[in-house]
Each structure stands twice: as C-alpha cells, then as structure tokens.
A and B are shown apart, each in its own frame.
Chain A
Amino acid sequence: MRDLFRGALVRLTSESAEDIARANTIWMRDSEFHRFADSEPMRLWSEKRQREWAEKSIEKDPDDSYFRFGIRTLADDRLIGEIMLRIDWPRADGILGIAIGDRDYWGRGFGTDATDTLLRFAFHELNLRRVTLGTDTYNKRALRSYEKSGFRIEGTTRGEMLREHTRVNSVWMGILREEWQARQEGAR
C-alpha cells in the first residue's frame, strides 16, 4: 500500500501550534493572500493569539468531521500552506479549503499536488461520495488548479463578494467519487 499522505511534490502533515502560528503570522501580512483565503476584512492577529487558537483546535482532535493538514515540500520540508476538509457525514460530502501562504510556491503545481493528495485521502480513506469547494472568480490560479484536479463547475453565485467597489461572483465546484475514479483509471 502506498503512503496516502505523500504526493509528488508535497506531503500532508500535522503541525505543531508553534509552527502553524509562526507561519500564519507571516502569511497574513500579505493582503493579497488574505483576500484569496477569506472573505472577512482582515485583522492582523499576534502570533500569541494564533498559537492559542491552534492549541484549542489541536485539543479537539481527533475530530472525524474535520481534517486540517499542513503542506510541506518533499524537497526541503518547507511549510508552505494548509489544506482542510470539513465533512458532512450523512451526505458523505467534504468541503475542501486550501491556502498556499508562501507566495514563492504559487502557480507551480504545489497546491494542485496537495489537492490531489487530499482527494485520494477523501475517496480512498474516508470513502466520501463527493468533495465540494467554493472560490472567487478573481482567483484564476485556484480555478485552474481545481480544474486540473478534476473538479467541475456546478454553478456561480452572483455578486457574493464586494471587492474594491466591484461585485465579484463566486464559483462552486464539485467532484464525484465516480469521476475521480475514472480519472485514476485513465491516468494508469
């Protein structure tokens, strides 16, 4: 059996509260990153505060309806982002969120590799029926990456965000278990 947490470029990890707080404190000062990652107006939180949140969330683990992983490069074990899956078990649907905080790793396939690795975990380990995600239409890199991983557009919510005086649509995407399966067979 293969190592489920290992992709081609990255591996999925469990991070210490210290490491994740330190990394997020740096990433959050990049407002472009923040506007991709979250719809809320940004607040700049101290490392101490972020560590307290991380500790609290680690206390709740293992939580079988929420999986949060660090993303580390295989080449030099660098923490470059995070990926999460929130699961609605009765519907067997997982909501995926991913954020590559280190902008040196944008547009180079690291996020796509993390998503692929998480999808394999979602369908082979958790046996979900589908995985869902939402993103802003201005996040072109993310859209392209999700399409590469096999997500299909399921609809557009009009004007869900107001950015710089402009209404922006959000795109919702999904991948069904059978679609993911067919892609694996095609790749073989």
Chain B
Amino acid sequence: MLDIQTQLFEAEDIRFGPIDHEKHPEIESRWTHDGEFMRLMELKPIRPLSPAMVKKQYEDIEKEMDESRNLFYFSIRARSDDRLIGKAVIEWIDWPHGNGYVRLGLGDPKDRRRGLGSQALSMLLRFAFAEANLFRVTAIVPAYNEGAMRLFQKFGFIEEVRRRKAMHRDDEFWDLIAYGLLASEWAAGKGS
C-alpha cells in the first residue's frame, strides 16, 4: 500500500513547523548569544544576532526557498506546547543529480541528549528521500563536534571525505568531515 497518509512533520516528542516571524526571533536571538551552540551549528565565524537581525534572516530564508527552490527549512517544535526548540535544514540541493546537504540543531542545552535530535534527523531523512526524492545527502561536520559525528554515524552515514586541517579554532587545527548517506542505504536501514 502506498504510505501517503503518514504525517511527514510529526514525531513522538517533536514536530516540524514553519517559521513564526513574531515569536521565533526573540528565541533564536538568545541561542545566538550562546558561543558553544553557535560553534556547533555554524562553520562560519559566529556572532550574536539581535531579534531584528534574526527576523531579517528569516525573511531571507523564505525568499530563498521561494525563489531558488533548492532549500527546505523547518523549525523544530516541542510537541507538548509547540515552542521552538531548533531547526532542521536541507540546503544547496542539486536537483538534476539528486544531492542535498543536511544540517540541524537544538538551541537550548536542556533539550539536547534526550533523543530529540534523532527524531528530527529521522524526519528530515524521510523527507529528503521519500518526499524530495533525493539520491543522496551530505552532512559537513568539524572533527570537534563529536555529538554530531555520533548522530550521523548512528543513522548509517559513511565518512567520505576528510579535508585535512580545514578548521582552525582555539589555536588548533581540525579536519572537516563530509558524511554521506544514499537513499538505498536509508531505505535498507529504516526498519532497524
């Protein structure tokens, strides 16, 4: 049977939702003032953002989703009260070849290490492979982000590329790792 009644945006404890331009800028602005979170979420130099700056970013994101059509952006909400807890993204999609890059994060340390990231990645991959019909997805992770490395490995991602010393943080050099997962691998591992 064709499984189209399955809700793509609903997991056990979380759900995906759209951006809320009124409520979310305040919350995300708080996250950007957490230097530890920002370094795990971003490869670019980090900077704290005011709510107005976050608002502008949200507008840019929706504009890009609308015009370029190679980006999917989801806010992650707690199922219990719909509050914003993170974001999950498929970006830089190369449609003719079926590639995309995935990225996700939970803003508040209290929401981490509770399996919510796994639920989000599980939904994001289902969307990438069963809805957007991508052939493969890639995740770029600096070698100091052990949490992310474990998460992607758990979902069957394979380490494909290791750019040597491509990150320089706190006077140390780190490799930048590219993890890849193919649709066929995702489909084979889904039941386990």
Residues of chain A having any CB pair with chain B under 8 Å: 39-41, 90-93, 129-130, 132, 154-162, 167, 172, 174, 176
Contacts and interface: CB of A to CB of B under 8 A. Distances in A.
A157 B160 contact: yes
A158 B44 contact: no
Interface string B92-123: 00101111000000000000000000000000
Given A154-B164, A162-B96, A174-B163, 20 more contacts: A39-B94, A90-B45, A92-B168, A129-B165, A130-B164, A132-B166, A155-B159, A155-B160, A155-B161, A155-B178, A157-B136, A157-B160, A157-B178, A157-B180, A158-B158, A158-B180, A158-B182, A159-B135, A160-B97, A167-B135
14 contacts: A39-B94, A39-B97, A91-B43, A130-B163, A154-B162, A154-B163, A155-B160, A155-B162, A156-B160, A158-B182, A160-B99, A162-B96, A162-B98, A167-B135
Given A39-B94, A162-B135, A172-B178, A156 B161 contact: yes
B167 interface: yes
A39 B96 contact: yes
A130 B166 contact: yes
- Nearest first, the 3 A-B pairs at minimum CB distance are A155-B161, A172-B161, A90-B45
Given A157-B138, A159-B182, A162-B135, A176 B164 contact: yes
B168 A129 contact: yes
**Secondary structure of the A side of the interface?**
strand
Given A160-B97, A162-B96, A174 B164 contact: yes
A130 B165 contact: yes
Interface string B70-109: 0000000000000000000000001011110000000000
B172 to A, nearest CB: 13
A2 B99 CA distance: 44
Contacts of B182: 158-159
A38 to B, nearest CB: 11
Contacts of A93: 163, 166
Contacts of B94: 39
Contacts of A174: 163-164, 166
Nearest to A134: B161
